[in-house]
Amino acid sequence: MTPTPQPLPEGSPDSSAAIDALLAVLRPLARLAIDHGVQFGQLEELMKRAMIDAAIRSAGQPGRERAVPASRISVMTGIHRKDVRRLTEAPGLDAVRADSTLAAMLFTRWMTGAAWQHDGRPRVLPRRSPADGGPSFESLARGTTTDVHPRTLLDELVRLGLVEHDEAVDTVSLRADAYVPAGRIGELLGFLGDNVGDHLAAAHANVAATLRAADEGEAPRPPFVEQALFADELSKASAEHAAGRAREFWQTLLRALAPELQRLEDADRTAGRPTDHRIRIGLYSYVAPMPPADPAAPETRTR
Protein backbone atom coordinates (compact mmCIF):
# COMPACT_ATOMS: atom_id res chain seq x y z
CA MET A 1 0.00 0.00 0.00
CA THR A 2 1.23 3.49 -0.77
CA PRO A 3 2.07 5.31 2.49
CA THR A 4 -0.28 8.16 3.32
CA PRO A 5 1.62 11.49 3.50
CA GLN A 6 1.46 12.73 7.07
CA PRO A 7 0.10 16.22 7.80
CA LEU A 8 2.77 18.82 8.41
CA PRO A 9 3.00 20.30 11.92
CA GLU A 10 1.37 23.71 12.10
CA GLY A 11 3.97 26.46 11.84
CA SER A 12 6.69 24.16 10.49
CA PRO A 13 8.88 25.48 7.64
CA ASP A 14 7.30 22.96 5.25
CA SER A 15 3.79 23.99 6.30
CA SER A 16 4.69 27.65 5.77
CA ALA A 17 6.06 26.85 2.31
CA ALA A 18 2.85 24.98 1.48
CA ILE A 19 0.79 28.02 2.49
CA ASP A 20 2.93 30.27 0.27
CA ALA A 21 2.50 27.84 -2.65
CA LEU A 22 -1.26 27.62 -2.12
CA LEU A 23 -1.58 31.41 -2.14
CA ALA A 24 0.35 31.57 -5.43
CA VAL A 25 -2.06 28.99 -6.91
CA LEU A 26 -5.18 30.63 -5.48
CA ARG A 27 -4.47 34.12 -6.83
CA PRO A 28 -5.15 33.25 -10.50
CA LEU A 29 -8.09 31.08 -9.40
CA ALA A 30 -9.52 34.09 -7.57
CA ARG A 31 -9.10 36.22 -10.71
CA LEU A 32 -10.95 33.53 -12.69
CA ALA A 33 -13.79 33.60 -10.14
CA ILE A 34 -14.01 37.41 -10.23
CA ASP A 35 -14.00 37.47 -14.05
CA HIS A 36 -16.94 35.06 -14.21
CA GLY A 37 -19.04 36.33 -11.31
CA VAL A 38 -18.36 33.44 -8.93
CA GLN A 39 -18.82 34.60 -5.34
CA PHE A 40 -16.74 33.73 -2.29
CA GLY A 41 -19.53 31.59 -0.82
CA GLN A 42 -19.60 29.46 -3.96
CA LEU A 43 -15.81 29.20 -4.02
CA GLU A 44 -15.79 28.26 -0.33
CA GLU A 45 -18.33 25.50 -1.00
CA LEU A 46 -16.20 24.19 -3.87
CA MET A 47 -13.10 24.22 -1.65
CA LYS A 48 -14.92 22.25 1.05
CA ARG A 49 -16.00 19.66 -1.52
CA ALA A 50 -12.49 19.40 -2.96
CA MET A 51 -10.90 18.99 0.50
CA ILE A 52 -13.42 16.35 1.56
CA ASP A 53 -12.81 14.42 -1.66
CA ALA A 54 -9.03 14.65 -1.16
CA ALA A 55 -9.32 13.47 2.45
CA ILE A 56 -11.50 10.50 1.44
CA ARG A 57 -9.02 9.48 -1.24
CA SER A 58 -6.08 9.87 1.12
CA ALA A 59 -7.59 8.01 4.08
CA GLY A 60 -9.65 5.37 2.27
CA GLN A 61 -8.71 1.99 0.87
CA PRO A 62 -9.25 1.17 -2.80
CA GLY A 63 -12.91 0.36 -3.34
CA ARG A 64 -13.86 1.50 0.20
CA GLU A 65 -13.17 5.23 0.02
CA ARG A 66 -16.70 6.23 1.03
CA ALA A 67 -16.40 4.19 4.24
CA VAL A 68 -14.10 6.81 5.81
CA PRO A 69 -15.89 8.15 8.94
CA ALA A 70 -17.07 11.76 8.88
CA SER A 71 -15.21 12.42 12.13
CA ARG A 72 -11.89 11.44 10.54
CA ILE A 73 -12.53 13.60 7.49
CA SER A 74 -13.38 16.49 9.83
CA VAL A 75 -10.08 16.08 11.69
CA MET A 76 -8.09 15.93 8.44
CA THR A 77 -9.75 18.97 6.84
CA GLY A 78 -10.96 21.18 9.67
CA ILE A 79 -14.45 21.10 8.14
CA HIS A 80 -17.32 20.60 10.61
CA ARG A 81 -18.77 17.08 10.66
CA LYS A 82 -22.22 18.44 9.81
CA ASP A 83 -20.83 19.91 6.58
CA VAL A 84 -18.90 16.72 5.86
CA ARG A 85 -22.08 14.65 6.10
CA ARG A 86 -24.07 17.16 4.05
CA LEU A 87 -21.54 17.27 1.24
CA THR A 88 -20.85 13.53 1.11
CA GLU A 89 -24.60 12.79 1.00
CA ALA A 90 -25.18 15.35 -1.81
CA PRO A 91 -21.99 15.35 -3.90
CA GLY A 92 -23.42 17.17 -6.94
CA LEU A 93 -22.84 20.84 -7.75
CA ASP A 94 -26.47 21.86 -8.35
CA ALA A 95 -26.65 23.78 -5.05
CA VAL A 96 -23.45 25.70 -5.84
CA ARG A 97 -24.65 26.58 -9.34
CA ALA A 98 -28.06 27.67 -8.00
CA ASP A 99 -26.50 30.06 -5.47
CA SER A 100 -27.31 33.18 -7.48
CA THR A 101 -25.36 36.39 -7.14
CA LEU A 102 -27.17 39.72 -6.96
CA ALA A 103 -26.06 40.49 -10.50
CA ALA A 104 -27.52 37.18 -11.72
CA MET A 105 -30.77 37.76 -9.82
CA LEU A 106 -31.20 41.21 -11.36
CA PHE A 107 -30.35 39.88 -14.82
CA THR A 108 -32.95 37.10 -14.46
CA ARG A 109 -35.68 39.53 -13.30
CA TRP A 110 -34.97 41.77 -16.28
CA MET A 111 -35.12 38.82 -18.66
CA THR A 112 -38.34 37.30 -17.27
CA GLY A 113 -40.37 39.99 -15.45
CA ALA A 114 -43.35 41.38 -17.40
CA ALA A 115 -42.72 44.88 -16.07
CA TRP A 116 -39.29 44.91 -17.69
CA GLN A 117 -40.40 43.56 -21.09
CA HIS A 118 -41.73 45.20 -24.25
CA ASP A 119 -43.05 43.08 -27.13
CA GLY A 120 -41.40 40.06 -25.55
CA ARG A 121 -37.98 41.67 -25.35
CA PRO A 122 -36.12 43.21 -22.38
CA ARG A 123 -36.70 46.97 -22.27
CA VAL A 124 -33.99 49.57 -22.65
CA LEU A 125 -34.27 51.29 -19.26
CA PRO A 126 -33.47 54.81 -18.15
CA ARG A 127 -30.88 54.57 -15.40
CA ARG A 128 -32.80 56.89 -13.05
CA SER A 129 -36.49 56.59 -12.22
CA PRO A 130 -38.56 58.92 -14.48
CA ALA A 131 -41.04 61.42 -13.06
CA ASP A 132 -44.01 59.30 -14.19
CA GLY A 133 -42.79 56.38 -12.11
CA GLY A 134 -42.17 54.14 -15.11
CA PRO A 135 -39.68 51.28 -15.12
CA SER A 136 -36.02 52.16 -14.67
CA PHE A 137 -32.78 50.42 -13.88
CA GLU A 138 -32.85 51.97 -10.39
CA SER A 139 -36.31 50.56 -9.63
CA LEU A 140 -35.25 47.17 -11.01
CA ALA A 141 -32.13 47.20 -8.83
CA ARG A 142 -33.98 48.31 -5.68
CA GLY A 143 -36.58 45.59 -6.30
CA THR A 144 -33.74 43.07 -6.32
CA THR A 145 -31.97 44.29 -3.19
CA THR A 146 -31.94 47.31 -0.91
CA ASP A 147 -28.54 46.39 0.54
CA VAL A 148 -26.50 47.47 -2.49
CA HIS A 149 -26.68 50.81 -4.32
CA PRO A 150 -28.07 50.55 -7.88
CA ARG A 151 -24.93 52.18 -9.30
CA THR A 152 -22.80 49.46 -7.72
CA LEU A 153 -24.97 46.77 -9.34
CA LEU A 154 -24.78 48.58 -12.68
CA ASP A 155 -20.98 48.73 -12.53
CA GLU A 156 -20.84 44.99 -11.78
CA LEU A 157 -23.18 44.10 -14.65
CA VAL A 158 -21.12 46.24 -17.03
CA ARG A 159 -17.92 44.58 -15.79
CA LEU A 160 -19.40 41.13 -16.42
CA GLY A 161 -20.42 42.18 -19.93
CA LEU A 162 -24.14 41.62 -19.28
CA VAL A 163 -25.35 45.19 -19.88
CA GLU A 164 -24.38 48.34 -21.72
CA HIS A 165 -24.68 51.81 -20.22
CA ASP A 166 -25.17 54.55 -22.81
CA GLU A 167 -23.89 57.52 -20.85
CA ALA A 168 -24.90 60.01 -23.56
CA VAL A 169 -28.62 59.37 -22.94
CA ASP A 170 -28.18 57.63 -19.56
CA THR A 171 -29.95 54.40 -20.49
CA VAL A 172 -29.11 50.79 -19.66
CA SER A 173 -29.74 47.84 -21.97
CA LEU A 174 -29.07 44.14 -21.85
CA ARG A 175 -26.39 43.12 -24.31
CA ALA A 176 -27.92 41.31 -27.24
CA ASP A 177 -25.42 38.47 -26.89
CA ALA A 178 -25.43 38.26 -23.08
CA TYR A 179 -28.29 35.77 -22.87
CA VAL A 180 -27.06 33.72 -25.84
CA PRO A 181 -23.85 32.21 -24.43
CA ALA A 182 -20.79 32.64 -26.62
CA GLY A 183 -20.19 29.32 -28.33
CA ARG A 184 -16.65 28.67 -27.07
CA ILE A 185 -16.77 30.02 -23.49
CA GLY A 186 -17.78 26.70 -21.95
CA GLU A 187 -15.28 24.85 -24.11
CA LEU A 188 -12.43 27.21 -23.19
CA LEU A 189 -13.19 26.98 -19.46
CA GLY A 190 -13.42 23.20 -19.76
CA PHE A 191 -9.94 23.08 -21.29
CA LEU A 192 -8.67 25.42 -18.55
CA GLY A 193 -9.99 23.14 -15.81
CA ASP A 194 -8.63 19.99 -17.44
CA ASN A 195 -5.20 21.41 -18.30
CA VAL A 196 -4.54 23.26 -15.04
CA GLY A 197 -6.05 20.45 -12.98
CA ASP A 198 -3.76 17.85 -14.51
CA HIS A 199 -0.74 20.17 -14.23
CA LEU A 200 -1.37 20.62 -10.50
CA ALA A 201 -2.01 16.90 -10.07
CA ALA A 202 1.35 16.12 -11.69
CA ALA A 203 3.15 18.67 -9.50
CA HIS A 204 1.48 17.30 -6.35
CA ALA A 205 2.34 13.71 -7.31
CA ASN A 206 5.99 14.68 -7.78
CA VAL A 207 6.18 16.44 -4.40
CA ALA A 208 4.45 13.51 -2.65
CA ALA A 209 6.80 10.99 -4.30
CA THR A 210 9.85 13.02 -3.27
CA LEU A 211 8.65 13.21 0.35
CA ARG A 212 7.96 9.46 0.46
CA ALA A 213 11.43 8.72 -0.96
CA ALA A 214 13.03 10.95 1.68
CA ASP A 215 11.13 9.15 4.46
CA GLU A 216 12.31 5.81 3.13
CA GLY A 217 15.92 6.94 2.56
CA GLU A 218 15.72 6.46 -1.20
CA ALA A 219 16.68 8.67 -4.12
CA PRO A 220 13.65 10.69 -5.28
CA ARG A 221 12.05 9.55 -8.55
CA PRO A 222 9.28 12.02 -9.48
CA PRO A 223 6.83 10.15 -11.72
CA PHE A 224 5.99 13.00 -14.14
CA VAL A 225 7.73 15.63 -16.23
CA GLU A 226 6.90 18.97 -14.59
CA GLN A 227 9.65 21.46 -15.27
CA ALA A 228 9.89 25.15 -16.12
CA LEU A 229 12.52 27.42 -17.67
CA PHE A 230 12.33 31.05 -16.61
CA ALA A 231 14.25 34.30 -16.94
CA ASP A 232 13.99 37.72 -15.28
CA GLU A 233 15.08 41.19 -16.35
CA LEU A 234 14.03 40.94 -20.00
CA SER A 235 12.51 43.65 -22.13
CA LYS A 236 8.86 43.21 -23.13
CA ALA A 237 9.94 42.57 -26.74
CA SER A 238 12.44 39.90 -25.69
CA ALA A 239 9.91 38.17 -23.44
CA GLU A 240 7.31 38.12 -26.22
CA HIS A 241 9.92 36.78 -28.66
CA ALA A 242 10.66 33.91 -26.24
CA ALA A 243 6.92 33.20 -25.90
CA GLY A 244 6.68 32.99 -29.68
CA ARG A 245 9.56 30.52 -29.77
CA ALA A 246 7.71 28.39 -27.20
CA ARG A 247 4.74 28.22 -29.61
CA GLU A 248 7.09 27.03 -32.35
CA PHE A 249 8.49 24.28 -30.10
CA TRP A 250 4.96 23.21 -29.19
CA GLN A 251 4.16 22.66 -32.87
CA THR A 252 7.31 20.52 -33.17
CA LEU A 253 6.30 18.49 -30.10
CA LEU A 254 2.74 18.13 -31.37
CA ARG A 255 3.84 16.83 -34.77
CA ALA A 256 6.18 14.31 -33.13
CA LEU A 257 3.92 13.00 -30.37
CA ALA A 258 0.45 12.92 -31.95
CA PRO A 259 1.33 10.08 -34.38
CA GLU A 260 3.13 8.24 -31.58
CA LEU A 261 0.05 8.38 -29.33
CA GLN A 262 -2.12 7.11 -32.17
CA ARG A 263 0.34 4.25 -32.75
CA LEU A 264 0.19 3.33 -29.05
CA GLU A 265 -3.63 3.39 -29.05
CA ASP A 266 -3.72 1.10 -32.08
CA ALA A 267 -1.15 -1.29 -30.54
CA ASP A 268 -3.09 -1.53 -27.26
CA ARG A 269 -6.32 -2.23 -29.09
CA THR A 270 -4.71 -4.92 -31.27
CA ALA A 271 -3.05 -6.60 -28.27
CA GLY A 272 -6.26 -6.51 -26.21
CA ARG A 273 -4.56 -4.72 -23.30
CA PRO A 274 -6.81 -2.94 -20.74
CA THR A 275 -7.19 0.69 -21.87
CA ASP A 276 -7.86 2.26 -18.47
CA HIS A 277 -5.24 5.05 -18.38
CA ARG A 278 -4.93 8.48 -19.95
CA ILE A 279 -2.12 10.98 -20.49
CA ARG A 280 -2.03 14.74 -20.99
CA ILE A 281 1.14 16.39 -22.30
CA GLY A 282 1.31 20.18 -22.28
CA LEU A 283 3.55 23.17 -22.64
CA TYR A 284 2.85 26.69 -21.43
CA SER A 285 4.46 30.10 -21.41
CA TYR A 286 3.54 33.24 -19.50
CA VAL A 287 4.79 36.81 -19.80
CA ALA A 288 4.21 39.48 -17.13
CA PRO A 289 5.94 42.57 -15.75
CA MET A 290 8.30 41.91 -12.86
CA PRO A 291 7.07 43.09 -9.45
CA PRO A 292 8.84 46.14 -7.99
CA ALA A 293 12.07 45.25 -6.21
CA ASP A 294 11.91 45.12 -2.43
CA PRO A 295 14.90 47.17 -1.19
CA ALA A 296 14.84 45.32 2.14
CA ALA A 297 15.08 41.87 0.54
CA PRO A 298 18.49 40.21 0.01
CA GLU A 299 19.58 40.21 -3.62
CA THR A 300 19.17 36.71 -5.05
CA ARG A 301 19.06 35.52 -8.62
CA THR A 302 17.63 32.18 -9.64
CA ARG A 303 17.32 30.74 -13.14
pLDDT in tens, 95-115: 677 666 788 788 878 888 888
Phi/psi of residue 160, nearest 5 degrees: -80, -5
Task: Round the CA-based radius of gyration of the chain to a whole number and report it.
Answer: 26
How far is the C-alpha of 32 from the C-alpha of 36, rounded, in Å?
A: 6
State which H helix or E strand residue 174 sits in.
Answer: strand 171-174
Q: What is the pLDDT of residue 96?
A: 72
Q: What is the pLDDT of residue 300?
A: 46
Confidence of residue 126 (pLDDT cuts 50, 70, 90): very high
Residue 2 has pLDDT above 70, yes or no: no
How far is the C-alpha of 102 from the C-alpha of 157, rounded, in Å?
A: 10
Confidence of residue 246 (pLDDT cuts 50, 70, 90): very high
How far is the C-alpha of 234 from the C-alpha of 151, rounded, in Å?
A: 42
Q: What is the pTM of this model?
A: 0.66
Phi/psi of residue 173, nearest 5 degrees: -135, 150
Are 48 and 79 in contact by the 8 Å Cβ rule? The answer is yes
Three-class DSSP category at 104: helix
Residue 136 has pLDDT above 70, yes or no: yes
How far is the C-alpha of 296 from the C-alpha of 285, rounded, in Å?
A: 30
Nearest to 162 by CA among 181, 189, 143: 181
Nearest to 70 by CA among 60, 260, 275, 226: 60
- Residues of the chain with pLDDT > 90, as a percent, come to 47
How far is the C-alpha of 115 from the C-alpha of 113, rounded, in Å?
A: 5
